[in-house]
Every structure is written in structure tokens, then in C-alpha cells.
Amino acid sequence: MSGNKFKWNSYDDENLVCAYDFGTLTAGGLMKNLARRTGSTYDGFINGTYTPANPLIRAKKTPCMDFNASVPNYISLTNPLNGLTTASVICWINWDSGGNRTVYGAVIGGAPYLYIHQTSGIYASMSASVGNISPPKLTPPSTTVMVAFIFNYPYGWLYLNGKFIDYKNVGPSPVEANIRIGIYSGLVVPYDGRLDNIMFYDRALTLDQVQSIYRSANPR
């Protein structure tokens, strides 16, 4: 999404629970779980069916996945953050104009854990029932940014493009067994735009590690 080939410099990290490179063409389709802990647990289901090459989700402009809010599109998977006291989520987002947009959220009840509010900015939380972190300004549509949400109970830290935004008490980790990428409970607040390289860690990454991942995809 940045115009540069993403380097999985943290692919061998033993704390990388699962990762999804939406621009990787494989025999199975467009989506591939690149984490070392592969298998059915973290295989994704697109729009309810395990069909990674679903024609409703295609690469657009650059190798990534383009989610259509009017359909809507979503990917279901086992919640890699369930029950954790330390965790990290890193992803690249590029959203189209209009509406609130879910990057990933709960399947049953609750609210999105990572989403874009059309007037406030990017919200991040480990629990659907407690506080969120929000940056002070809105991320412009059609602009690619790397979002990093770092959790170390009970606090969460939010970074954009490797730069610290804010931190807040976000409460306990979620108890939902499953999550959806691109939408949440009730098929509402659907994502409209492009997502790529979503990585879930079972530990809190340091600032240096967040910046290293950002530089690996956006060389300066």
C-alpha cells in the first residue's frame, strides 16, 4: 500500500500469533496467513465461506484488499487477542470517505475494537465495554497509515506511522472467541477501503520495534 514491498522482518518472531498479507497471491487465493502458527485456528473465512479469492474483494491500486461497505465484505477468524494481558496489533489502513469504519471487532455484541470515526479519528480498545484511545485529529481518507495498538494491561498505546499518539486505560482483554476484520456484530459499521498486513502479537511491542516494522515497509 505504501508503494514499497513489505518486508516481514518480524515474521520469525515467536510472539507473532497470526498475520495476514492481503496482497500475497497463493494457490488458495488472495489472502494468506503468514504466521508460523498456521492451521484451521487462524484460517480466515471471507463473507462466511472459506474462499480467499472471493470476487467481491480484490486488489485495488496496489496489492492489498479493497473492502466494499455496500456489500459488505468481512473476514471471520478466531480472536487472537482473547484473554491476553499483553498484545499488539499492527496494520496498514487506507479508507474511503464517509461513515464510521471497522477495522476489526467483536462478532457477538459489543463494539469494534479498532475503527475509524468519521469526525474524531482512529479508536482502539481491547474491550468493547470500556474506554478507547482516540488521536486528536482525523486520519484523512485515501491516505495510507500504519496503525499500531499496543496493550499492556490495563493500558493501551496508539501509534500512527511509528509516532506515539496517546495512551489510556482500556481495561481487560476481550472475552469474545471470534472477531471479524472489516465489520463487527450485526454487520454494521463496515470498512470501506483498503487493508493490508494485519499482524497480531501476544506481547507488547516496544517503540523501537514499532518503528522498525514501519521503516521496513516505508524505507527512508
At the second CATH level, the architecture of 16-217 is Sandwich (2.60)
pLDDT of residue 21: 67
In this predicted structure, the answer to whether residue 70 has a pLDDT above a threshold of 80 is yes
Helix, strand, or coil (residue 214): helix
**Residue 32: burial class (beta carbons within 10 Å; 0-12, 13-18, 19+):** buried
CB crowding 52-91: b at 16 or more within 10 Å, else e: bebeebeeeeebbbbbbbebbbbbbbebbbeebeebbbbb
In this predicted structure, the answer to whether residue 156 has a pLDDT above a threshold of 60 is yes
If you average pLDDT over each of 3-17, 25-39, 52-66, 106-120, which comes out highest? 106-120
CA torsion, points 45, 50, 51, 52, in degrees to nearest 10? 50
Name which of 138, 143, 96 is nearest 118 in CA terms. 138
pLDDT of residue 36: 43
For residue 51, the cross-strand partners are none
pLDDT of residue 26: 43
Higher pLDDT, 139 or 10: 139
Distance CA 127, CA 156 (A): 11
Average pLDDT, the chain: 74
In this predicted structure, the answer to whether residue 29 has a pLDDT above a threshold of 60 is no
The owner of cell 494485519 is 198
For residue 190, the cross-strand partners are none
Q: pTM of the prediction?
A: 0.82
In this predicted structure, the answer to whether residue 163 has a pLDDT above a threshold of 70 is yes
pLDDT of residue 213: 87
Domain boundaries, the chain: 16-217
Higher pLDDT, 14 or 179: 179
Name which of 100, 99, 164 is nearest 135 in CA terms. 164
Q: Which cell goes with 174? A: 476481550
Q: What does the pLDDT average to over 163-174?
A: 84
